[in-house]
Structure formats: C-alpha cells, structure tokens
Structure 1
Amino acid sequence: MLNPFKIFGIKKEEKRLVVIAGLVFAFLNALMLYVHFDDFTRGGLVGAWSLYNNKLLLSGYDPYAYMTIYKWDVFYVLSRHPLISLFYYPFYGLNKGIMELTDNFNAAILIMTVLIMIAACYSVVFMYRVFREVLALSKKDSNLLVAMMFSFATILTSSMSPDHFIFSLFLLTFTLYSAGMHIRNHTPYKWYKAAILFVLTAGVTLTNGFKTLLAVWFVDGKRTFHWKNVLLVLVVPASLLYGAYYYQHENYVIPREEKGRKIEAEKIKKNPELAEKSKQVKAFQKKINGEHFADKGMLKWSDLSAPRGQAAIENFFGESIILHQEWLLKDIYLGRPSVVHYKWWINYVLEGLIICLFLAGLVVGIRDKFMLMVLSWISVETGLHFVLGFGLNEVYIMGCHWLFIIPIAISFLFQRFNEKNKASKIVRLLVGILTSYMAVYNIVLITKYMLTL
C-alpha cells in the first residue's frame, strides 16, 4: 500500500537521477529566463494579453499560466481544463504580493519556473519507480528507460514551457505508479484516493480524468461499478468539476467575452477596415483548424481534413520524439506548415527503429495487466487525435499525454531478454544509442533556437 506521506520523499537510489535530471531541466529553464526575463517581468498597468500573447515563441505552447499568475482570470478553455486556473490562484496571490513590495516586478515567470522544475523532477521520479518497482527492472535498465523518455523532444520542451503539459505528465506518471503498485500488490483503491486523483487529473486536462477512471477499473475490476464507487468516485467529483466550470464560465468567461465584443465593435466603428482584418484572421484560423464535425461544444475542436498518415509520421511520432530542423519550434498559428519533413533521412530511420521497438514491446507485454491499462490510455489519445482529429496539426506538443508508453513497452523487451544473452545486449545498446542521439540532437536544437530569439 502506498503511503501518501512518504510517496514524495526522494529515495537514496533516486537522488543521483534527480540531480542529473534537475540540471538538465535547470539548463532548459535558464534558456527560457534568458530570452524572456526582461519582457515578462514587467508589471503594472500593462495587460496580460499585451504582455504575453504571441510572444512565447516556442512551438505552440500557450503563455496562459504566466497570464493567470500575473493578472488572474480564466484564460484556459474550461471544457478542457476546468480547474487549472483555480490551481494557479494561490500563486497569483503570491505574485501580487511580490509586485506590491517591489514596485511592480512581475515574478510570474520565476514562480512558473519553480513549479515546472518540481513537476518535471517528480515526473522523473515516478517514471523511475514505474520501471523499478512496478515492472521490477534493474537500476541500470530503469535509468536507461527514464533517460530515453526524457530525451524525447516534446518532454524536453514541455519541461521548460509554462503550458499545462508538464503538470499533466506529473499527474499521469503519479497515476501510473499508483495504479501499477495496486495491480502488483492486488490491492483496491480507497474510494477517496481514486476520487481525488480523478479530480486532479481531469481538472488539469479532462481526457486525463478518463485515464484515471480506466486505471481505477483495471485496479478494482467489478468493484468499480458498485453503486458506492460510481457515486463517490465518478458522480460527486464530476459534479464538483462541473460546478467549478459553471462558476468560472458565468463569472469570468462570459463577462470578458462580452467586454471584448464591445471593445471590438467600438474599434470597428472608428475604423471600418478592422472588420475586414478580423474576417481575414478568422478565415486564417479556420484554414489551420480544418473542417469540424460540429461548430459547437467539444466537437468544434475536431478536424476532418487533417492528413492522418503524414501527421502520424511527422507529428505524432516524428516531432514528438525528434525535432524537425526546418521551421524549428515554430507555431502553426504564426506561419509553420502543419506537416514538416526531416532534412536528414537518418531521422526517419531512427524514428522507424523506435516504432519497431515499441511494437515489439507491445507484442511481448500484451498479456500484462499493467501494459493493457497503459494501452487503454493510449486508445483515448489515438481516438482523440486520429478519429476526431483534435489538435492533429500540432499534436507534437501533446506528447506528455502518451509518450511514456514507448519506454514502458520496451521495458517488456528488457524483461524478456536476460541481461547476459546476446539479444539483450543488442536491444539495450540500441536503446542507449537512440537515447544519446535524441538527447544531444534535441537539446542542441532547442539551445540553438532559444539563443536566436
């Protein structure tokens, strides 16, 4: 049984890994501070949109966290992130106090840097524990697979951006570890632990809540559908999430949208040419977002026209794992094409090798209950992106929601092949080479890009 008071303690064998990972994350976040410190630490009368919008030039990540901590409001889409604005409220209070004491020094970027570093380091810890304690791998293999995961392009960029993805990764790796230990020890979830986990994961990203419910189902089996569990783990938490959504939408989103429409109408009245510019911007956004199943509700985020095959090769597996040199870390809403091709053929070869290792691991581990649980999680992501087409044109920034399945699948190859036989040495050497290449290649490109901003 997991002890909630000890689970966040760093164990002796984890300390070296955390230090190394922390140094990498510190370097990446130092780049972010170097580029944006002067501009993003301004405060006072300047508005949140004026200060941050279209100025965080990193792939497509949003600066909403900076904006929320600077001048609290509901900037996130509530139907997808119902609680994340509320999570930031205490840090808005902290930043407000700092600005009052320091003549409007806006510390939002510094506060977020600390939060990002904590979330990234604990994501490393929980992934290590998944390999070490849930899957019973050796220290060496666990370290190697953690290194592989955190050499992926999206994981690295998420570990320095103020978007919500690194917090999703933190909560999902925690859930993987928690559910994995319950499965291994054949122990059920306490209803209140499952409920809290559902609220937290769904509150940050709604689809992650579905993954938590799947995890509870794999752990508890038929008990999941007992009326008490349905009521206390699903109905009551979902009602709380809806209540938070409704409160924020009615009190913050609607008033801001109405105010925005009035301001836009007044500007157009003074300058009729702005109406045509507004139509052009909306047409450009519609072209990027593609054709939808519907124009209302969650289906307005769907995309029927995005090319699935190319998106799978270049975005879902490609850019998520190995950065493209062309249009490096550019935003599709600021000119980047929805599909970019690699300049070097070797990157396609390496991507293919990673996919082959991933598929081979799935075949080997397909009967394992924990592997099936992770696979069910990925079915949520593939359905979302490839059936509905949600965010398929920039799916590479969403890799924190699913990339962990690749090293988890490969871990079953490690289990199958004894460390002393020839096949084992080949697989581990290949994983080591791929990890080294991705880490150096991705970090060099990220550094190069950040230093040219």
Structure 2
Amino acid sequence: MNKSIRFKISDFKFLSKALLPQKKEEKLLFLILLLIYLSYSIYIALSTSVIDNMSYETDIYFSYDNPLILKLGRTQISGHPLLMLFYYPFVLIGNGLAYLVTFKAKTLLFVLLSSSMISMSSVYIFRYLREIIEIKRSVAYLITLFFAFFSTNLLLSFTPESFTLSAIFLAFNVYYNSSYIKKQKSPPFLSNIVLADFILGGITLTNVAKGIVPVLFFKEKKISILKKVVLLGVIFLAILSIVQVISIVFLSKNFFESIFIHRESFTNSALGGSSLFQMVFTHFFGSPIFFPPMMNYTAYNSTMQYIIEGNYSYWWQYTFVTLILATIVASLVKNYKSPFLQMIFLLFLIDIIIHCVMKFGINQPFIYGAHWVYCIPLLIGWLYDKLKEKQAKAFVVFLICMFVGLIINNLYHLTDFINMAQSLYPTE
C-alpha cells in the first residue's frame, strides 16, 4: 500500500514539475517569449482600455470576453463550467491591487498572467519537439518561434480569457500523455481525470474530449481503455450535475438548458455575409495563424464599436495559408501510421467537426484557434523528422522564409490593432 502511495506521489511530482520550465533552454525560451509578449502587451494595457473597458463587458475585439473575466473571473457558465475556479483568485488579488494602487495594476496582473501562459504553451511545444520527436535543438527553436508568432498567440498574450487557459493546458495535455505513450506506459488515471474532466472540460465544455483522446492510445487492453473512457465521461457528467445544482441554487439559472440556448445562438447566425469557404479557409484555419486585415463596425442600436478580422486582400496571403495546409497534409500522409500523429489528428478533427461540420461558432471562428493551433508546430515537427537529409535542409529554408513572412505580416497587423484600439478605446 505504501509503495503504491509513493508511486502515485512520485507521478504527481512529475506532473507538477512538468508544468514548469525544466532545462536551461526551456527557461531561456520562456523568458525571451515573456519579454517579447510583455513589450507590447504592457503598452496596450497602459495606452488603451481595450483589455479592461468596463462599459462593454464582451466582444470588444474578436469576440473575446476579457472585461468580464477581469470583473467576475468567468464568462458564460454554459460553456465554461469551472472557469471561475481558475481566474477568481486572481480577480481577488487584482481587486486588492486596484484598491491599493490603481485599476491598471489589476489589468497588468492579468496581462502578466496571460503572457506567462502563452509563453509556457510554447515551452511545451518545444519540449514535445525535443523529447517526443527528438529533433535537433536549432530546428525545435525555429518551429517553436514560428508557433509563438501565430496571430492567436500574439493576441492571447494580453487577453485574459478561457482560450488563454485552454492554450496552455491543451499543449501540456498532448505533451504529458505523449511522454508516457513514448515510454509505453500509462499515466496515473487520476491525472487523466484532473486534466480531462476538471481542467480541460472545466475551462471549456467541448475540450473534455481532448483530454479523453490520448487514452485511446495507451498501451493497455481495449477493455481497460474502454472502462477509462466511460469513467471519464461519467465523472464529467457528475461534475456538470454539481454545477447544475449550484447554478440553480445560487444563480437561479438552469445550466443544462443554457448549454442548448448557447449552442443555438452560435449556430443560427452562422455564415452571415461570407461564404462557407471564406469562413473555413480564412477565418477558421488561416486567421488564427496569419493575421488578415482588421476592421471595426458599430453594433446595431448601439455606440459600441467592435474590432474584428476581415478577409484576406492579396494572393500571397492565400498562398501562405495554402502552404501551411499543404505542409499539414504532407505530414499526415508521411506519418499516418504513427500513433502520436494519429492522436494530434484526432485532436484537430474535434474542432473541424464542431466548427466546420456542425457550424458551431462558424460566424466567429477566429477565437477558437487557441483550441487547435498547437497541433500545427507538432505536425511540422513530425514532417521534418520523416524527411531525408537534403530534403530536411530544404525544408528548414522553407520554414525560415515562412517565419519571416509570418513575422512581417503579423507584427504589421498587430500594430494596426494597437492603433485601432487607441483610437476606439483610449485609456480611461
């Protein structure tokens, strides 16, 4: 019994240790990315009210609900049942800072938190590339930095949101489970419960499936895997039932009913004004990686002005996104037998089904990029690993060219966003 307890404790020591940067190269990467993100995030926080505008609690830019997070530590409970558990302690600390110093001190706390989480998500990507795929350090740095400058990461680095939490824990989820699968072991089931049911599912309802997917690849008997999948589902339903009771007693709101209302409000307005191709290719797949032009519009019967993404304007923007898509397809074709790649594909497929097939949230698909963009650098890494020496060198040159194009485009449009935010939402 004692040995079993010690084994479990050692496993959870590994889990908690794995959440932090480990080697010097990871600590250096984290620090560099944190400084990069903070360099403009702090400027945005101090020169605009786009992050913390309390006049409009939701949808100021790209349909994010960041002011609501700063105020209450949660957004719609229907889609994010346990989100408040993660953010509310920081809301209380922020309220103390706002009382003792200034309200902007609270904003800066959340900016630091967001930048740290997005920086750590890149660290997990780097660790996966080095430990799971085992590619050389220089290429791992290149792929990780390429990922770090995706438009989703540039925005979430100053945006307290459920998507920011999802970004870090989804990246950790795929690394953590893959590290055990590589050793042909299974992680302690309690860690799967914590990751799938409490963290991923608690932050965003649909992401519970992404905590369950890795279980399908454990080196166990099929009946054992089936039992774990069923048990994870039952435990999650139990958690939702508890949330239902709390929601009715304290919020006078039917949690389960609100889920369906929330789903309809996202689905019925799908495809407004744009073709399905534009919504899927540009806004679902392209814009979370490669910024399109930005625009603002005034809400109907309101003075509120939203900042949203537009369609791509030039052929080279479509070419960039097409090349990324071609790279992903090539990786899938070359590695289709790999259980690691099959896992990544299933994780990505969940979002494709939810948003492109079921059309849930297809009217604003950009924000869901945080739920899948971590798959892109992993697929790139697996493709590089399969290439022969000369092909690999040519592929690195290709990645460098793509990286330069990504930085130029995304930093240009990030500057455009800052200028728009200063104009529409100056600091209060």
Q: 1:51 aligns with which of 43, 55, 58?
A: 55
Could you tell me whether the CA contact under 8 Å between 1:332 and 1:394 is conserved in 2? no
Could you tell me whether the CA contact under 8 Å between 2:60 and 2:305 is conserved in 1? no
Could you tell me whether the CA contact under 8 Å between 2:278 and 2:311 is conserved in 1? no
Q: 1:16 aligns with which of 2, 6, 28?
A: 28
Could you tell me whether the CA contact under 8 Å between 1:58 and 1:331 is conserved in 2? no
Distance in 2 of aligned mates of 1:352 and 1:39? 32
Unaligned runs of 5+ in 2: 1-10, 423-428
Unaligned runs of 5+ in 1: 41-48, 256-293
Deviates more, 1:338-347 or 1:17-26: 338-347
Aligned position for 1:298: 263
Q: 1:357 aligns with which of 316, 324, 327?
A: 327
Could you tell me whether the CA contact under 8 Å between 2:114 and 2:164 is conserved in 1? yes
Aligned pairs for 1:311-350 (under 5 A) are: 311-327=279-295, 340-350=310-320
Distance in 2 of aligned mates of 1:358 and 1:39? 34
- The alpha-carbon deviation at position 242 of structure 1 amounts to 3.0
Change (3 A) 1:135 1:295: closer
| 1:393 alignment partner, SS class | coil
Distance in 1 of aligned mates of 2:298 and 2:173? 31
Aligned position for 1:180: 178
Distance in 2 of aligned mates of 1:345 and 1:39? 33
- The alpha-carbon deviation at position 10 of structure 1 amounts to 3.0
Aligned position for 2:166: 168
Distance in 2 of aligned mates of 1:375 and 1:38? 35
- The alpha-carbon deviation at position 59 of structure 1 amounts to 2.5
Amino acid across the alignment from 1:312 = V
Distance in 2 of aligned mates of 1:425 and 1:392? 38
Distance in 1 of aligned mates of 2:50 and 2:154? 23
- The alpha-carbon deviation at position 253 of structure 1 amounts to 5.8
- The alpha-carbon deviation at position 297 of structure 1 amounts to 6.2
Distance in 2 of aligned mates of 1:436 and 1:229? 43
Aligned position for 1:266: none
1:404 correspondence with 2:402: no
- The alpha-carbon deviation at position 301 of structure 1 amounts to 2.8
| 2:186 alignment partner, SS class | coil
- The alpha-carbon deviation at position 212 of structure 1 amounts to 0.4
Could you tell me whether the CA contact under 8 Å between 1:61 and 1:397 is conserved in 2? yes
Distance in 1 of aligned mates of 2:261 and 2:64? 24
| 1:189 alignment partner, SS class | coil
Could you tell me whether the CA contact under 8 Å between 1:302 and 1:389 is conserved in 2? yes
| 1:320 alignment partner, SS class | coil
Aligned position for 1:310: 278
Q: Could you report, residue by residue, the CA deviation over 1:390-419 in whole angstroms, capped at 9, with x for unpaired residues?
A: 11122112111111222222222211123x
Aligned position for 2:106: 108
- The alpha-carbon deviation at position 119 of structure 1 amounts to 0.8
Q: Could you report, residue by residue, the CA deviation over 1:166-185 in whole angstroms, capped at 9, with x for unpaired residues?
A: 21010001101111111101
1:60 correspondence with 2:63: yes
- The alpha-carbon deviation at position 376 of structure 1 amounts to 0.8
Deviates more, 1:442-451 or 1:372-381: 442-451
Change (3 A) 1:443 1:338: closer
Distance in 1 of aligned mates of 2:51 and 2:136? 46
Change (3 A) 1:248 1:69: farther
Could you tell me whether the CA contact under 8 Å between 2:30 and 2:119 is conserved in 1? yes
Change (3 A) 1:159 1:175: same
Change (3 A) 1:95 1:16: closer
Aligned pairs for 1:22-171 (under 5 A) are: 22-36=34-48, 40=52, 50-53=54-57, 57-63=60-66, 66-70=67-71, 72=72, 76-102=75-101, 105=103, 107-171=105-169
Change (3 A) 1:243 1:153: same
Aligned position for 1:285: none
- The alpha-carbon deviation at position 331 of structure 1 amounts to 9.0
Could you tell me whether the CA contact under 8 Å between 1:189 and 1:220 is conserved in 2? no
- The alpha-carbon deviation at position 249 of structure 1 amounts to 4.9
Distance in 1 of aligned mates of 2:50 and 2:276? 41
How many pairs were matched up? 396
CA RMSD of aligned residues (A): 2.9
Deviates more, 1:5-14 or 1:115-124: 5-14
Change (3 A) 1:229 1:153: closer
Q: Could you report, residue by residue, the CA deviation over 1:371-397 in whole angstroms, capped at 9, with x for unpaired residues?
A: 111111111101100121111122112
Q: Could you report, residue by residue, the CA deviation over 1:179-234 in whole angstroms, capped at 9, with x for unpaired residues?
A: 111110111121111111111111111111111011122225522223x7744x33
Aligned pairs for 1:144-293 (under 5 A) are: 144-198=142-196, 199-219=198-218, 221=220, 222=222, 223-226=224-227, 230-231=230-231, 233-252=232-251, 254=253
1:393 correspondence with 2:392: no
Could you tell me whether the CA contact under 8 Å between 2:65 and 2:75 is conserved in 1? no
Aligned position for 1:444: 412
Change (3 A) 1:414 1:38: closer
- The alpha-carbon deviation at position 162 of structure 1 amounts to 2.0
Could you tell me whether the CA contact under 8 Å between 1:304 and 1:388 is conserved in 2? no
Identity %: 23
Distance in 2 of aligned mates of 1:121 and 1:355? 24
Aligned position for 1:434: 402
